[in-house]
Structures are given as C-alpha cells and as structure tokens.
Amino acid sequence: MATPPTSPAPAATSLAAAPTSPATPPATAAAAITTAPSEPAWANELRRRYLRGEAAEFVLHGNVHDVVLHEGALVSVADYVATTVLGRKDIIVRYNVSTGCRFIKKVGKVDGLEDLLGQRSPEKVLPALEKLLFTQKNVAVVIEYAEMLAPAGDASFSSEQDRLAVVTLQRWSLAPQLEASDSIVVLITEVPSELHQKIVSNPRVAAVRVPMPTQDERRAVIRAVNPGLDVAWTNRLADVTAGLKSIQLQSLLQPAPAGTGDDEERGRYIRALVADEGRAKKLAAVTRGMTHEEIAELAGIAPEAARTARGVGDGAEQDELLRLVARRKREIIERECFGLVEFVEPEHDFSVVGGIPEVKHELQSIARNIREGRHNRVPMGLLFTGPMGTGKTFVAEAFVKESGLTGIKLKNFRSKWVGSTESNLERILGVVQGIGNVIVIIDEADRSFSSGGDDGDGDGGTGSRVIARLKEFMSDTKHRGRVLFVLMTNRPDKVDIDLKRAGRLDRKIPFLYPQTAEDVEQVLAAQIRRHRLSSALEFPRDRETVSQKVVGYSNADLEAIALLAHDYAAGPGSTGTESALAPTHFEQAVKDYLPSRDLEMLEYMELLAVFEASNRRMLPQKYASLTTEDLHTRLAELKRSCGHRR
C-alpha cells in the first residue's frame, strides 16, 4: 500500500493519488486528506483507512442504495463513490453483472480495453480487471451488487463461476501489486452477510458502513428538494422523517415537474378541499403518487369536511401535515422491511393500567430521561417478565404512548433461505438505528433468544449468528438513550443468560398477579375506565363479594370478568346496554367464570419473575420479604416438576 500523499492536495472530496514526492511534515500530510465540510462521514472514513494502508479492498455496505447530496444535487452512493470519493484516480471502472463494465474516467492508454468493453460475464470480466489492476497504476474498480458476484453459501453448493469470483476477490485483497500501484477495489453490497464469508471475514478487506441519513443530512436534503419550505417547517420535517432514506425523502417531498397532468389535477382536488393556498401547497408537496381516497384518508380531509377545515391556524395545519408525513413514513419503512417490523400506535396510556404504581413510576422516569437527553440515566434494555395475562404487552404499549417515543415491534424475521435471516436482521437494525429515540418491543423473547441448543446446530448456526448480532447491537453504548429494547417473556430461564447481563437488559421488571383485594380493585377500576363501562361498584363495601374472591386471578381474567358482568347487565330484565354494572352482576360473573389455570406452572413463572427482578421495591410484600434461600429452594422444587414444560 502506498504511503499517504506527500504534498498538499487541492481542496476536493476525492481519494488522494499515489505519492510522487519526498515525505512532507505530518501537518502537511494531514492537510492533504482533510474532509470537506459537506462530505459524508463514511466517505471520509473510507479515504482515511485507505491512506493509512489498512487495505486496498473495501466492502461498502448498509444504506448503499440511497442518494447523497453533493454540490446541490442528489447523486446515488455508487455514483458518488466513483466520481467524487475516487475522483482523483487515473482510471475508474464500474462493474455489475447486469450492465457490465463502464469506464468513468480513463487517462492515457489502457491495455486490454477491448477485453472489458461489452463484457458482462464475471468469468471474462474478472481476469480482464485483474490484468488492469496489476499492470496499470492508480486504478479504482467499483463493483456494484457484489453479493451477486460472490454470494454467501457453502462452497459445495456454489457454482464454479461463484467459486472463481470468491477466489479472485480474495487474491486481490492480498496481492502486493495493488499496493505497489496505489489501486483500490470497492465492493458495494447492502447486507454484508449476503457476500461470501471468506471476503467479509478477510482481515485485508476493510468494511465501511453507510448509515441512514442523520438529522442534519435530512434537513439539507429537504432544503435541496423543496427550497420553498420555511426553516421551522424544514426542521420539524427533519425530526419526523427519522428512519427514512434520502431517496425516500426526495420521493415524498419533491414537487412534480411543472405542467404534469397528475400534479395539476391533484392540486385542483386539494384546493377544492382546502381553501388556504399555502396549506394546499404543503399538502401537494407530500402527497405525490397518492390517490384522492388516500389523500382524504391520510390527511383526514373529506369533501364534506372542507368547510370546517377552513380557517385552521398555521400550527394546526403543520401538525396535520406532520401526522400525514409520519404515517407515510411508517408505510414506507414497513414496506422497506418487508413487513418484518410493525409500528405500535397504542390508544391507551397508563391511566387505564391498574395497580403496579412502582412499575409505572419506573417507566415514566425512563421515558422522561430519554426525552430530556439524560442518556446516562437510561438503561440499555428492559426485561418484562411474569406469567401470561399479567399485562406485559399492554403496559409496553402504554409505555410507548406515555413516552411519546416511536414504538416498533419485531416480527418473525427468520427465514428458511440461506442468508435471508441475517439479511432481514441487518435491514431491521439499520432502520432502528436510523429512526432513533425508539422503543423496540420483542414479545416471547424466550423463543427469539433461547438459551437452548436448538439455535446452533439445526439451522447451520444461523440462530447463533443472529443472537450474537443482536447482542452486539444491544450492548453498543452509542445507542444508549436512543434505542431502548423491551423484551417480554414468561420464561426468563429460557432466555440466553448472556443477554440478561447488565449493559444489555439493565432493568428486569416483574409482572405478577394481584396479590391483595386492593390490587384487584385497582385493576377492575382500570378495566372499567378502559372499556367505558358504567359501574355501581363501591369498595371496600363490595370487597367481600367481589374482589376478595378473585385474588390471584390474572389481569386478563379480571378483564374477562368485567366484560361478563357487562353482558349480564345488558341481559334479560336489564334496562339496556347503558345500565350500570351492579355488584350483583359482578358477583354472578365471578361465580360463573372458570379460569384455565395450571397453578403449579403459574407459581413457577411468578417465582422466576421475582428471581429476575432488579429491584425489591417493585415486588409485593409477599415476595419482598422472601429470603434468597427460600426462593431458591422453592424454585428448585418447581423446576423439577414443571421446568421442562413451556
């Protein structure tokens, strides 16, 4: 690898050429690779690592199918790499298996040019590129969709052409000719796990990740795409579009070319709904490609409601448009992740969560610290543990609503196809990191993060790699205060023990069945509020006939009893569905309701939750006073009888 340039380079955002003059003082050499103010951080990292001699072959991965704002124009990442980052190379070649080789730049005579032009087959192109790299100086080769050239997989199932490509790329990374000629090879792939592992794991191949655009980058793209927007509106859009790519922002916000029939017709439709011209223009800017029905549905504007929509103030208009943009963002991201994530849009907060005051206080404190930027007081992750029916999912959704943060649920991203599971996970994690200030909810964590042996052998090690990648992401301290994982399980003993350590799941929050009549009454009151029922219950007057009889029932059981009592109130002899629920209705519902319960297993799950709890103050008195020895003894007894069951 050539040493860093020895004479000052002109101000440019391009990779420096090979040195041709004696060494210069360190300050001068550093100045030669100074980053231009508008250059993306990943481009600067690629340049610095190349000039330090780390590698002559790079894998550029992540958000590689996006666009970059450069000199006022949006250009693709591949174009930016070829024309700007590598712009000072004498020969620049781009290749993919679809379009073949294209010379972006060619200084002087190129030997074997006829062997490259018009060729697409890797078995013909790769030897010609190798000859070019080994015989010419100052060459840059950019290979797009590298995973199609050297796909991941077992060598025994790979074609001869795939094996040839893997070996060729491997040899290039180790070839002294590349260093001597000051040449570079850049492989572009979205997900590194889709590229052959011999290349990805090669220490002479450096990986550089292209992240999702930052808030400042989104703000710059919004200004470039739609310069007519005011500063405040631009800043709010930059906030609400976190998690979107620049190219998606461009599609969402760029006005259609003047005079296009779709733009004119859509504009007329919006103006028929909205009298304010400024508001109509803002709506038109974010509804490209949408039908009239979608515009009316997403914006909440219908023709018959146009009259009441008139005269709405600027703040209300912007809030409405921001909600529209946020909804379109959710649709784009869910589509981008192939339905592997789902945005959580809860309609309830902690006001309809009965009891557990310490848990609610803990979660409210965490949300407040995130919103106010006190990241060092925010845990890396939370573990909600307790028997089924204790309201773990319900509380997690209320936490999302109460905190005002974005909430997403991870669906089953595992696939039977080789490499697809890892690819799905990387795509999801990229979106999560891009959104920021997000709560990631994973239900049934015992199945997703099993500590058993099923993950490593039966699927070729995919499960182990997936869990290892998630552990790595969850323990990255850069995500503290920005990405909060909430894992839920009723069998924490089945969760990988390494995942539960401090630095990944810092807080373990127990969810237990109501232990006293007072606890039951709080849950019943919350259920009555949630379902907007009219009730004549009074406590402690009705404690003996109602709440005392259902101590130890789950929250789900108590909800079912409240709804059953509501049915009885609306039954024969009642005054109708609006009748107040009398104590007799509850008493009859309690008498008739038969919960499906495995008492031994429920006790085991409760004791596991107590054992995992990170703070005694969140435990009811019954368990807070339990000694560690008694807890271990009883847990051991229950584990022998039902620990093997799920």
pLDDT tens-digit map of 113-123: 777 777 889 99
Handedness of CA 397, 401, 403, 406 (dihedral sign): positive
Same fold, 36-210 and 341-510: yes
Q: Which of 23, 52, 47 is nearest to 35 (CA)?
A: 47
What ranges do the domains of the chain cover? 36-210, 215-336, 341-510
- Say what the pLDDT of residue 459 is: 57
Residue % of the chain over a pLDDT of 70: 79
Helix (H, G, I), strand (E, B) or coil at 644: coil
Please state, in angstroms and rounded to a whole number, the distance separating the CA atoms of residues 461 and 446.
18
Residue % of the chain over a pLDDT of 90: 29
- Say what the pLDDT of residue 598 is: 81
Residue 328 has pLDDT above 90, yes or no: no
Could you count the other beta carbons within 10 Å of the beta carbon of residue 391? 24
Residue 14 has pLDDT above 50, yes or no: no
Helix axes 420-435, 314-336, angle to 10 degrees: 160
- Say what the pLDDT of residue 368 is: 86
- pLDDT tens, residue by residue, 362-376: 998 998 888 888 888
Looking at 212-260, list the stretches that DSSP marks H as alpha helix, in order from N- to C-terminal side: 215-225, 231-240, 246-253
- Say what the pLDDT of residue 184 is: 96
Residue 81 has pLDDT above 80, yes or no: yes
- Say what the pLDDT of residue 622 is: 81
Ranking 367-376, 455-464, 469-478 by mean pLDDT, the lowest is 455-464
Query: Residue 416's pLDDT band (boundaries 50, 70, 90)?
Result: low
Q: Which residue has the tokens 């090979």?
A: 18
8 A C-beta contact, residue 487 and residue 381: yes
Query: Residue 399's pLDDT band (boundaries 50, 70, 90)?
Result: very high
Largest CA distance in the chain: 102
- Say what the pLDDT of residue 10 is: 35
The partner residues of 187 in beta bridges, in order of sequence, read: 59, 143
Please state, in angstroms and rounded to a whole number, the distance separating the CA atoms of residues 196 and 158.
10
Provide the total of helices (H) and of strands (E) in the chain, helices listed first.
29, 14
User: What CATH homologous superfamily does 341-510 map to?
Assistant: P-loop containing nucleotide triphosphate hydrolases (3.40.50.300)
Contacts of 210 (CB under 8 A, 6+ apart): 40, 42, 60, 61, 62, 63, 64, 66, 77
Top CATH class of 36-210 equals alpha beta
Residue 143 has pLDDT above 90, yes or no: yes
Looking at 97-214, list the stretches that DSSP marks H as alpha helix, in order from N- to C-terminal side: 113-116, 122-135, 146-149, 160-174, 176-180, 197-200
Looking at 477-620, list the stretches that DSSP marks H as alpha helix, in order from N- to C-terminal side: 517-530, 555-569, 583-592, 599-612
Between 416 and 241, the more confident residue is: 241
Highest average pLDDT, of 150-154, 161-165, 231-235, 279-283, comes from 161-165
Could you count the other beta carbons within 10 Å of the beta carbon of residue 43? 25
- Say what the pLDDT of residue 374 is: 87
Q: Which of 604, 483, 526 is nearest to 357 (CA)?
A: 526
State mean pLDDT over 390-415: 85
Please state, in angstroms and rounded to a whole number, the distance separating the CA atoms of residues 278 and 233.
13
What average pLDDT does the chain have?
80
Residue 269 has pLDDT above 90, yes or no: no
Query: Residue 25's pLDDT band (boundaries 50, 70, 90)?
Result: very low
What DSSP letter does each residue of 46-106 carry, written as one string?
A: HHHHHHTTS-SEEEEEESTTSEEEETTEEEEHHHHIIIIITTTSSEEEEEETTTEEEEEEE
- Say what the pLDDT of residue 572 is: 64
State mean pLDDT over 431-444: 86
Quote the radius of gyration of the chain (alpha carbons, Å): 30
Highest average pLDDT, of 48-57, 320-329, 462-471, comes from 48-57
Residue 280 has pLDDT above 50, yes or no: yes
Contacts of 9 (CB under 8 A, 6+ apart): 16, 32, 33, 88
Residue 573 has pLDDT above 70, yes or no: no
